[in-house]
Structure 1
C-alpha cells in the first residue's frame, strides 16, 4: 500500500514531530521513548486533563492538546496503548496541587495502563481521578462498550471546566454526566489498513460494516452497500434505539474515520439532515476527522445530550484547530438575481445555417464517449461530455436562434456556451464566439471575425499556437477561412494542426504544461481533434 511515510517503524514519531511544529504544544525531552505532547503554556495552577491511547486515530488525541481541551496526550504505537511509564510521565509533567483527570477510552490496554499509572501517581502524593468512556452502542448494554469519537465530547467539557479553574471533583462529576449521555455508532465501506499491511480487505465490493470500533476489528454486522441516504438511515436507526424517548436536544459529531473525501462527508451530513433525528440536533462538530482509524473509508455518528453546562462548555472557543462546532440548521437560501436572457434576439430562419448547426451538434453528441476516452489519457476525461452537452443545448434551441444574422448568431452561441457548457473549454469557446459576434459588423466576413474571437480567447486563456490546445486546430482553420480557402482546405488545415499536437510534448501554457512528455507523446489534444472532426464532417 502506497502512503506518504518514511519508515513504517517511525510513522508515529514522524507524525508527532509534525504535530510539535505547532507553537502551542511541545514534547517531553524523553521523546521518542516516551511520546507525550503537552501544552506549552501550562502552569500547573489548574486541574490537568490528560487523555491518549494508541496512535492511528489522529487528530485524537495529540491534536486536541491546547487551551480549553487537553493538557497532555499520551501516544502509543499504532492501535497500541501507551506504556504505564509514558502515562505516568504525562501525569508528573503537568499535575500540580489541583490534581488531574485521566480520560480513558474503554479498551483493555488503556484501562490497565492508565489505571496503573494513576495508582502509581497517587502513591507519589498526587491527586488523580479517572473517567472511562464507553460510547459505542453497537453491541448493546450487556457488554463492555468501546470508546469511540464521543470521547472528544468528554475532553471538551472537562478541558473547558479546567480552563475556568473548576475543582477536580466538579470536573469529574460533569465529565461523568457527559459519558452517561453520549452514544456513538460507526459504519465503514472498508477496514483500516496498517502501513505495512498487504492483506486484502475482508469486505466485498457490495458490502459495508456497521457497529465497528477504531482498531480495524470487524463490525457488529455486515450490511449491503447502498446509497448514502440509506446507510446513514441505518446508523441513525441504531442510535435512536439507544436514546431516551423524550424530545431532548443533542450535539452531533460527524467523524471521518480516515479516507472519506470532503465531498462525501458533506453528502453524509445532508443525508443525516433528512432523518427525523436531525430535528433534535442543535449543534454539529465536523464533519471532519476527529477520531480516525488510519485510512478507513468510514464515518461515525456521536450524540451527546445537552444540558445548560454541556452546551455552554462545548461552544466555548479553544486553542486546538481540530475542534470546530457550529449551529446545525437547515440550508439557507436568498433570492437569486434574474440573469439576462440567453438569447435576447428575435429568431430568424436560414435553412443552410440550421442544417450546418444540426450536423455539428449531432457530431458532438456522437463523439462523447470517444473524446472522453481520449481526454482521459491527457486530461480529466470530460472533454467529450463538455462538447456533447454544448451540442445538445444548441440542438434544443435551434428554432429560437437568429439564424439569418451572423453577428447575433455568434453572440447567441457565445451566451449559450457561457451559461450551459461546463469546463474551461465551454468558457473559452464562449469568449471566442462573443468576441467574434462583436467584431462581425466591422469585419463583414466570418473568417476575420473568428480570428478576432480567437485572439481574445488566447489573451484571456493564456495559451497560444503550439501549446497543445484546440487553438492548434482553430488558428490554421480560421486563417484559411480568412484567406477565402475552400472548405476542404480549411478542414485539411485543422487536421494538420490536430496531428501536430501529437508531436508537442512540452508547453508553457494550457493543461498540457502540467503533464510529462511520456503522457503526451503520440496523443492528439482532444479539443484540437474535435475541431478537426467538425470541419471534416462539414467537408463531406
Structure 2
C-alpha cells in the first residue's frame, strides 16, 4: 500500500467520518443520498452560510463548519460538485427567516448546481443570496478565473458577519467585497494522486487549479526563494485589478496537501520577506486549507484589509480547520543572560599542537560524505555532517587563536565548549562531555591516556552506552585500552588506530544497538553496516596517530 486508505470508493465517507469524530458537526448518514456537515451549535436566528464542492480539498469544506464560519458544507465525490438536491437539502436544513448565503467557487459544476439550488430554494420561499469566488489570477483574461484558497477567507468573513447578527444583505455585501479584493496563484512540484490511481509524472508548474489540472506553464525553481518569487510576481502585478494597490493585505499561504510543516513556514517567511515593505499586515497560519489531495505545492492569496476584515480574521471560531491569523511582525532577537566569559583571551599557544589539531579536523571534514553515506544505510544520514560541523568549529577557533594549544587541560575544556555549542545533536554533547571531563582529569595531573579513560567513563555515565552497544565506544574503548598498555608513543598510537579499526568493523556484525538512534532500527537494517559513529572515531584516532605519534 502507498496510502492509508481503505476502499478507494469510500475515501470521502471515511474522511468525513473521521472529521465528525472530533468536529462540532452533525453528519448525514453514510447510506443517505447526500453528504452534508451541519454546525451542531448553529443559531437559527442568524444567516446560514453554506459552501461546498467536490471532495479532495480537505479541510475544505466540512472542516470550516462551526460557529463563526460555515453553517453547513455539502460534499460531492472527489473533485466532483455535489448535486442540486444535496445543496437544496442543506439550505432547507439550516435556513431560517434570516436567510442563507451560498459561497460558490467559480467552477462550472459548482456554479450550476449551487445556482439551481438557490433558485429552487427561492421558489420555496427561502431568502437566498450567492457569491462567486474567482480569485485565481494565473489564467488569461479571456478565461474565467477559478476559485482557489481565497474562498476560505470569504468563508471566514461571511461567517463572522453572520455570527455577529448581520442581516443577509450585509453578509452578502461583505462576502462580495472580499471576493473581489483578493488574488491567488498556486505552484506545485508534483501532481496529486487520486485513491486507486498512480501519480501522473509532471514537472513543476505555476498556475494550477485545485482539481489536478496542469498549470499555465512549467517552471524550474531551484529553491523555496525562487518558487515564491515566481508566484508572488504575478500576484503583485495584479494588485490593482484586485483592489489591493496601496492597501495593507492579509496573506494566506495554503498547503495544497503534500508540503511539510517546515516547508510551509519557509514559504511564509519568503512571502513576507519578498513582499514590498508594509504590504502584508496579517498572515493566516500556514496550513492545508484548500488542498488538492496530496499535491506537493502551495498557493498564495493576498486580501486587501480594512477594519471589518481585520476583525473577522482575528475572531475565534469553533471550526477545527481554521488555523488562526496573526499580525505580521519583525523578528525580534532574544536576549540571553549569559555568564561573563572568563576565557575571552586564550591561554598559551603551541604552533605544533595547533597544526596537529588542524590536521585532525581536516581529516574529519574530508570524511564527511563517507560517514553520511554510512549513516544513511540505517539512520538519518547526518553523522558526517555533524562531525564535520564540530571539526569546522574547532578549526575556526584554531585559526582565530582562541584555543589554548599550549595548555592541554584548558584546550580540552575549550574544545568541549565548542562542540556543545556548535556541533549539535547527541554526538556533539557526548564528545563535549568526553573533552570536558578529559580536560578536568588533565588539570588534576593525570596523563593523557588516563585522562581520556576518565572522559570516556563520564561519557558512559551520562550517555548510558557501553562497549558492545554499537556506538562510537566500540572503536574508542579498544584504542584507549591499547594506549593504556603501550603509552603515547608513535607505535602506541598506530596500534590504537588499528584497534579502533577492528572495533568499528566488529559493529557490522552487531544486530542490535543498545543506545542511540540505531537502537530503534530493526536488526536486518543494521546487519553488515559499520556504525558511523565508530567509523568517525577511527578517522579521528587515525589522524591523531598520523600527527600526534610523538608527544
TM-score relative to the length of structure 1: 0.92
Find out whether 1:500 has 2:497 as its counterpart. Answer: no
**Take 1:400 and 1:171, find their aligned partners in 2: how far apart are those partners?**
67
Shift of 1:341: 4.8
What is aligned with 2:283?
Answer: 284
Q: What are the Cα deviations for residues 139-181 of structure 1, in whole angstroms up to 9, with x where unaligned?
A: 2444322111111111111111111222222211221111222
Which moved further from structure 2: 182-191 or 105-114? 182-191
Distance 1:19 1:493, change over 3 A: same
* 1:240 and 1:277 in contact (8 A); partners too: no
| Partner SS, residue 361 of structure 2 | helix
Shift of 1:458: 2.1
* 1:343 and 1:415 in contact (8 A); partners too: no
| Partner SS, residue 287 of structure 1 | coil
**Take 1:3 and 1:122, find their aligned partners in 2: how far apart are those partners?**
43
Please give the residue correspondences for 1:235-314 in structure 2 after superposition, counting only pairs within 5 Å.
235-244=231-240, 246-277=245-276, 279-314=278-313
Shift of 1:350: 4.6
Q: 1:448 aligns with which of 447, 450, 468?
A: 450
Please give the residue correspondences for 1:155-234 in structure 2 after superposition, counting only pairs within 5 Å.
155-198=155-198, 200-203=200-203, 208-234=204-230
What is aligned with 1:481?
Answer: 483
What is aligned with 2:68?
Answer: 68
Shift of 1:309: 2.0
**Aligned residue pair count:** 536
* 2:102 and 2:114 in contact (8 A); partners too: yes
What is aligned with 1:491?
Answer: 497
Q: CA RMSD in A?
A: 2.4
Please give the residue correspondences for 1:140-151 in structure 2 after superposition, counting only pairs within 5 Å.
140-151=140-151
Please give the residue correspondences for 1:348-367 in structure 2 after superposition, counting only pairs within 5 Å.
348-350=348-350, 353-354=353-354, 356-367=356-367
Which moved further from structure 2: 318-327 or 66-75? 318-327
Please give the residue correspondences for 1:130-145 in structure 2 after superposition, counting only pairs within 5 Å.
130-145=130-145
Shift of 1:369: 1.8
**Take 2:44 and 2:472, find their aligned partners in 1: how far apart are those partners?**
67
Shift of 1:224: 3.7
Shift of 1:193: 2.4
What is aligned with 2:463?
Answer: 461
Which moved further from structure 2: 4-13 or 302-311? 302-311
**Take 1:400 and 1:172, find their aligned partners in 2: how far apart are those partners?**
68
* 2:69 and 2:156 in contact (8 A); partners too: yes
What is aligned with 2:97?
Answer: 97
| Partner SS, residue 331 of structure 2 | coil
Shift of 1:276: 4.5
What is aligned with 2:425?
Answer: 423
Shift of 1:432: 1.0
**Take 1:528 and 1:261, find their aligned partners in 2: how far apart are those partners?**
33
Which moved further from structure 2: 99-108 or 263-272? 263-272
Shift of 1:55: 0.9
Shift of 1:228: 3.0
* 1:58 and 1:292 in contact (8 A); partners too: yes
* 2:504 and 2:538 in contact (8 A); partners too: yes
Q: What are the Cα deviations for residues 231-282 of structure 1, in whole angstroms up to 9, with x where unaligned?
A: 3233223223322374222211111111122222222222222334452222
**Take 1:464 and 1:375, find their aligned partners in 2: how far apart are those partners?**
20
Q: What are the Cα deviations for residues 177-230 of structure 1, in whole angstroms up to 9, with x where unaligned?
A: 112222212222222222333253232xxxx32222111112223334344333
Please give the residue correspondences for 1:362-373 in structure 2 after superposition, counting only pairs within 5 Å.
362-373=362-373
* 1:345 and 1:408 in contact (8 A); partners too: no
Find out whether 1:437 has 2:436 as its counterpart. Answer: no
Find out whether 1:377 has 2:377 as its counterpart. Answer: yes
* 2:191 and 2:200 in contact (8 A); partners too: no
Distance 1:99 1:237, change over 3 A: same
Shift of 1:88: 2.1
What is aligned with 1:517?
Answer: 523
**Take 2:48 and 2:225, find their aligned partners in 1: how far apart are those partners?**
41
**Take 2:402 and 2:27, find their aligned partners in 1: how far apart are those partners?**
70
* 1:473 and 1:532 in contact (8 A); partners too: yes
Please give the residue correspondences for 1:331-346 in structure 2 after superposition, counting only pairs within 5 Å.
331-335=331-335, 337=337, 341=341, 344=344, 346=346
**Take 1:448 and 1:158, find their aligned partners in 2: how far apart are those partners?**
74
* 1:60 and 1:291 in contact (8 A); partners too: yes
Q: What are the Cα deviations for residues 54-74 of structure 1, in whole angstroms up to 9, with x where unaligned?
A: 111111111111110001111
Shift of 1:287: 1.8
Distance 1:227 1:458, change over 3 A: same
TM-score relative to the length of structure 2: 0.90
Distance 1:443 1:517, change over 3 A: farther
What is aligned with 1:406?
Answer: 408
Please give the residue correspondences for 1:310-329 in structure 2 after superposition, counting only pairs within 5 Å.
310-323=309-322, 324-329=324-329
Which moved further from structure 2: 409-418 or 471-480? 471-480
* 2:28 and 2:37 in contact (8 A); partners too: yes
Deviant stretches of 4+, over 6 Å: none
Distance 1:229 1:524, change over 3 A: closer
Distance 1:357 1:246, change over 3 A: closer
